[in-house]
A and B are shown apart, each in its own frame.
Chain A
Amino acid sequence: MFKDVAFGQYYPANSAVHKLDSRIKLILTLVYIIGIFFVKSYFGFMLTAALLIIIIIAAKLPMASVLRSVRGILLLVVLTSIINLFMIKDGDVLVQWKIFVITKNGVHTTIKMVLRLVLLISGASLLALTTTPVELADGLESLMRPLSLIKVPVRDIAMIMSIALRFIPTLFDETNKIVSAQKARGASLDTGNIFARIKALIPVLIPLFVSSFRRADELAFAMDARCYNATDKRTKMKKPKIKFSDVLAAFVVLSFFTVILLERYYFPSVGINIDAMIFGGLL
């Protein structure tokens, strides 16, 4: 039953974004995240949100799937907003009660921080939603390859990642079997208080560990038998190819990044004016 569950957040869909090269996606996600930290004005945040919405539509993702990942950081957002709101004391005072002061400046900083966090998490989740774990591992390996010059065992790390991913469904199946076997012997795994339940997990975890070690042992023999480590120049059957859509995606995200930088450092008045135009007296 676990076999068909897409672990991680991957949302399968047949879209151009899903088909992008995973290395490009990793790099562009990084560029996007860095870009967010340069955004200063509401205008900049609107640009970012627009980019995000375009990507979500192109990726054929339901909004809910992206919002779900934002829900995960809701508590963090609420807590940091409260702290921010009361910690910033400079600027025009809006409300004052005993030692608690809320200033105009504090409100703006807080709103911007919330926007920044939400846009950041949504952007990062787009990567996880549109890229399978295996593609991510391959992409990371490819990007980390230069590190092998300084003796980082990139190839082995990548192999460990991909084998770990490959064994997740197998171990899920195994866990199900052990649970059934222990239930057949009268174990009750889902009753009692939290301590009873944790204790009930022991007879599941121990056989799972034992069998995992046995599997690891057999797998090591099977890999050796198939000449793993025969040469330092291991080749790959699949060569990722940069497609036109990859170039296009890079162009879009890099343009976004450039606009953000220009707006912040060369034309700050643009953001200020547009913000004033939209929000008028609220600012």
Chain B
Amino acid sequence: MPFIEIKGVSYVYPLREGVSLKAVKNLSLSIEAGEFVALTGMNGSGKSTLAKLLNGLFKPTEGEILIDGVSTANEERIFDIRRRVGMVFQNPDNQTVATLIEDDVAFGPENLGLPRDEIIKRVNFALQAVGMSEYRKRDAAKLSGGQKQRVAIAGVLAMRPDVLILDEATSMLDPAGREEVMGVVRKLVEQGITVINITHNMEEAALAKRVVVLRKGRLAIDGTPSQVFSSSLFESCGLTLPPAAALAKELKDSGIDVGTVTTEESFAEGICKLLR
């Protein structure tokens, strides 16, 4: 059984009396434990709504979401689900609750009512995992964007989650900050955590093993990065290829086939193969 099972899910935002907006429409998708998935699509395609459905912040209007066999609509297990499906949001300033970094990382475990020794152990572990141990006594407001997001990831890791959802967690960062955060994410994937990375950046999406594209609340494309980038639907979803893939496509159109290209590395490999 897949770890995350989305079965025919729709979600409706009630706006005003008699007016509502269906942000997710009859979506079915399953994600196995340990997968690294990029979730992408235009603004308003329903990515954030889906993310909030996955950890039970929203309940499906129709259909059902199972996390390890437990429905997110099951009120008795809701906090267990939120613990197992951790979420990092876009704006680092709006998800830090404490002034000191270590206090912020401790927020989740404190909410779970864990014993003090266990909290301290988890905070140490989580800060270590994102490489922020030496900053633990610092003021969270004075970090760089990349550091703030790493602390936010640590806050989730301290709850020992199975799944980490990043909702455009790198979109407010400079390239160096993005690199920092994606480095941490890659390490977590290697350690077996399921990661769902919501992003508009196709270079970042190409780092995942699987890319899921939403369009107007529906599932549009689902496959490996190379399958998705070469899909005929790709452009209709309002997406543009990452530079390396775009260049490879141009080359192919003018008769030079460098093979399937998703990232700069695979482009370099393709070129090397051609030259040999």
Q: Which chain A residues have a beta carbon within 8 Å of chain B's beta carbons?
A: 3, 134, 162-163, 165-166, 169-170, 215, 218-219, 221-231, 233-239
Contacts and interface: CB of A to CB of B under 8 A. Distances in A.
A228 B79 CA distance: 9
B254 interface: no
B208 interface: no
B68 interface: no
A224 B119 contact: no
Secondary structure dominating the interface of A = helix
B102 A227 contact: no
Contact of A219 (B55, B94, B106, B142): B94
Nearest to B87: A225
The 4 A-B residue pairs with the shortest CB-CB distance in the complex, in nearest-first order = A222-B95, A230-B79, A218-B94, A237-B106
Interface in B62-118: 79, 82-83, 86-87, 89, 91, 93-100, 102-103, 106-116
Contacts of A231: 79, 111-113
Secondary structure dominating the interface of B = helix
Contacts of B110: 234-237
A227 B83 CA distance: 7
B116 A236 contact: yes
Nearest to B122: A237
Contacts of B140: 166
A169 B111 contact: no
A169 B143 CA distance: 13
Given A224-B82, A227-B82, A237-B103, A219 B97 contact: yes
A226 B109 CA distance: 9
Nearest to A138: B103
Contacts of B24: none
A27 B100 CA distance: 25
Nearest to B111: A227
12 contacts: A134-B100, A215-B94, A219-B97, A221-B57, A222-B94, A226-B155, A227-B108, A227-B112, A230-B82, A234-B113, A235-B110, A237-B102
